[in-house]
Structure formats: structure tokens, C-alpha cells
Structure 1
Amino acid sequence: MQQDKHPDYWPTVFRDRAAGYAFLTRSTARSVETIEWDDGETYPVIDVEISSESHPFFTGKARVVDGEGRVAAFERRYGGAERSNS
């Protein structure tokens, strides 16, 4: 690996305030705000708007698109499947 080519990489806490969830990982992102973690160490903390704990896809609260309802609405608006075999 070439020296002085890659950015600094250090432990960072990402905190999802909406879900009350935080996780410790490594990142190149910088922050002046810090937090004391469970291990007693102090790490920089970055607040995020959404994480796997609050994202609808991961929480199971995702909206399901009703494909049949869309087809029915289309047929109501433009008529049924009236095709001629000419």
C-alpha cells in the first residue's frame, strides 16, 4: 500500500437521534462533537437523520405499492381491456 495516499481513518460513533440508536465504527468523517462510549473511551460523534434502525425498509414499515389497485384505476379511467382481434 502506498504511503500518504489514503485519508486518516479512526473510530467514530454515528448516532441516529430519531431512533435513539448509536453504533461505533471507523470512518474518515470528522466531527468536533464527542461522546463517551460504553467502553469508557471518548469518540467523535456524527448525527445522522436515518439509519437501519429508523429506515422504513429495515424496520418493516415500508409502504407496499398496490399494483393491482393501479391497474384497476387505469381500467376505470380509460375503460377495460377492450381489444379487437382484427
Structure 2
Amino acid sequence: MQQDKHPEYRPVVFRDRAAGYAFLTRSTADSDRTIDWDDGRTYPVIDVEISSESHPFYTGKARTVDSEGRVARFERRYGGGTGEGGAGTA
């Protein structure tokens, strides 16, 4: 591996503004702003719009596709799927 080509990997605080949640992790991201963390040290802070704390998929508020409703709507439009006279019958 070539030296001096990779960014520095260091502790960084990511703050989710939507959820009011912050977490400390390691990253190569850089920021001019800092935050005093619970352990008494100062870390760079990066504000993000969405994280696992506010994302609908992780919070359980995600909309799911009703596949049964889609199939029923298809059958209403294009026939009941009885197999009479349609393609694929033996």
C-alpha cells in the first residue's frame, strides 16, 4: 500500500438534526466545527439530514407495498385469472 495517499481515519461525531441524536464513530470525513463529547474530549462534528434514528425504514414508519392489492387490481382489470381460453392453458 502506498504511503500518504489515504485520508486520516479518526473519531468523528455525526449529528442527526432531524432526530436530535448524535453518535461517535470513526471516519475519514473532515469538519471545521467541533463538539465536546461525553468523555470530555473534543471531536469534529458533521451534521447529517438523516440517519438510522430518523430514517423511515429503521423507525418502522416506512410505507409498504400492498402486493395482494396490486394482484387483485390486476385481476379485476384483466380478468379473474380463471385460465379459460387464455394463453398458457393445456
* Moved >6 Å (runs of 4+): none
SS in 2 for 1:61: coil
1:46 maps to 46
Amino acid of the structure 2 residue aligned with 1:50: I
Superposed displacement of residue 82, structure 1 = 4.1
Superposed displacement of residue 4, structure 1 = 2.3
Deviates more, 1:48-57 or 1:76-85: 76-85
Normalising by structure 2, we get a TM-score of 0.82
Normalising by structure 1, we get a TM-score of 0.85
For structure 1, the 5+ residue unaligned runs are none
2:13 maps to 13
Superposed displacement of residue 19, structure 1 = 0.7
CA distance in 1, matches of 2:5, 2:12: 21
CA distance in 1, matches of 2:37, 2:27: 16
State, as a whole percentage, how many aligned pairs show the same letter.
Answer: 79
CA RMSD after TM alignment: 1.7
Deviates more, 1:73-82 or 1:11-20: 73-82
For structure 2, the 5+ residue unaligned runs are none
Where in structure 2 are the equivalents of 1:18-33 lying within 5 Å? 18-33=18-33
| Post-superposition CA distance 1:11-70 (Å, at most 9, x none) | 100010101110001111111111111112111111111111111221122212100000
Q: Highest Rg: 1 or 2?
A: 2
